[in-house]
Amino acid sequence: MKIFSGSSNKPLAEKIAEELNNHLSPLDIFIFPDGEKRVRVIDRVVDENCIVIAPTAPPVDSNYMELFLILDGLKRSGAKEIIAVIPYLGYQRQDHIFRDGEAVSLEVVINMLGATGVKKIICFDLHSMHTSELSKIPMKHLSALPIFVEEIKKIIGLSINDVVLISPDMGGVRRIKILSELLNNMSYAAIEKNRDLASGEISAENILEGNINNKKQAIIVDDMISSGKTLVLAAQMLKDKGIEEIYAFGTHPIFSNDASERLQASIIKKVFVTDSVYVPKDKMFDKLEILSISKLIAREIVETLSV
């Protein structure tokens, strides 16, 4: 087995390789002066199973293109089976046509991965639970929820009846129910979030499912943190309704624009994310804690290859 890393999240790839008692095989990734990338596989890969670790977080198009080129290089070099580990799958939110004349970008990128010879995709906490079911390529959909459960247990201590799990939108209800089951049926509630499709502005309206009466601690759980506006809006609303302490969990730290500043300045006490997406130094903030998904991915790789 050979393990390769794209340039988007090398620290995660190194951790996964370590978990597998292996090391990363080198790739020569060169950017020409005009911005085109040139990829070269250094080691021989004939008849080797190849794992490529490359979350397609921003800059999304350049990360996808790099991944396609790595996959093509491996395929043409005689690799046996190629498994793409894409902890964060870019374009996953564009999974259906919201308005006439739009593309289904998610299907486009999955088709491209299929065309470049990927046998299996391993990814994490997809925006829609249906994505892995509808994918034309076998897709293993892992979740960071088991990792979150351990952290949540540490936060709540003995006061389980004071705590409520919160989904910041109705789309996350299925996720929050699973988490509730993993935490001895902890109470949960979902907020009604509205997004104006034309302007992109969001608003948190009110509690739609479950209730938060007599609760002191709230744990908001989402799949990704992009601008952070959803979390901050939800937190403010929860505080207005009497919650005293608010934590946030999000699998993918996309952190666009001034998300870090927004979250640090918010009433949220601590923000937990995973290392599915690399967080550069200038986007780190005091309230942020990063949990690693490397063990879960390593385990899945072992299981995949042992079949």
Partner 1 sequence: MQDQLNDFIILSGRSNLPLAQDVGKLLKKEVYQCITSFADGEIRVKIPVNIRRRNVFIIQSTSSPVNDNLMEVILMIDAAKRASASRISLVIPYFGYSRQDRKEASRVPISSAVVASMLEHAGCDSLLTIDIHSEQEEGFVSVPWDNLYSSYSLIPTIREKKLSNLVIASPDKGGMIRATGYARLLKAEGVAVVYKKRDFEVNNKSEVMAMIGKVRDKDVLIVDDLIDTAGTIAHAADHIKRHGARSIRVAATHGLFSGPALARLSQSAIEEIIITDSIKQKDEVINNKKITIVSVANLLAEAMKKIESGDSISRNLILER
Active site residues: 193
Token pair 């979150």 is found at 148
Q: Which residues of the shown chain bind partner 1 in the complex (CB under 8 A)? A: 30, 32-45, 57-62, 64-66, 68-73, 76-77, 90-91, 93-94, 97, 99-105, 107-108, 111-112, 115-116, 200, 226-227, 254, 256-257
Phi-psi region of 69 (alpha: psi -120 to 50; beta: other; left: phi over 0): alpha
Residue 26 or 157: the one with the smaller Cβ distance to partner 1 is: 26
The residues pairing with 272 across neighbouring beta strands, listed in sequence order, are 249, 289
* Of residues 106 and 219, the one with the C-beta less far from partner 1: 106
DSSP 184: T
Nearer to partner 1, 108 or 267 (CB): 108
85 neighbors 54 (Cβ within 8 angstroms) = yes
CA distance 233 to 252: 18
Nearest Cα residue to 89 out of 75, 107, 73 = 107
User: Residue 175 — φ and ψ, nearest 5°?
Assistant: -65, -45
Q: Which is nearer to partner 1, 130 or 136 (CB)?
A: 136
Pair of tokens at residue 143:
């979740």
Nearer to partner 1 (CB atom), residue 73 or residue 172: 73
**Least distance in Å: CB of 185 to partner 1?**
34
At 269, is the secondary structure helix, strand, or coil? coil
Half-sphere exposure at residue 161, Cβ-oriented, CA atoms within 13 angstroms: 1
Q: How far is the CB of 245 from partner 1 (least distance, A)?
A: 29
* Nearest by Cα to 172 from 63, 69, 272, 93: 93
Could you give the CA distance from residue 15 to residue 22 in angstroms, rounded to a whole number? 10
In whole angstroms, the minimum distance from the beta carbon of 298 to partner 1 comes to 25
User: Least separation, in Å, of the C-beta of 71 and partner 1?
Assistant: 8
Cα three-residue angle 136-110-85, rounded to 5 degrees: 100
CB of 18 vs partner 1, minimal distance in Å: 25
User: Is the C-alpha dihedral spanning 272, 276, 279, 283 positive or negative?
Assistant: negative
Cα 125 versus chain centre, distance: 5
Q: How far is CA 6 from the centre of its chain?
A: 16
Query: What is the smallest separation between the CB atom of 84 and partner 1, expressed in angstroms?
Result: 15
Please identify, using beta-carbon distances, which residue of 39 and 297 lies nearer to partner 1: 39
- The C-alpha atoms of residue 186 and residue 201 are separated, in whole angstroms, by 31
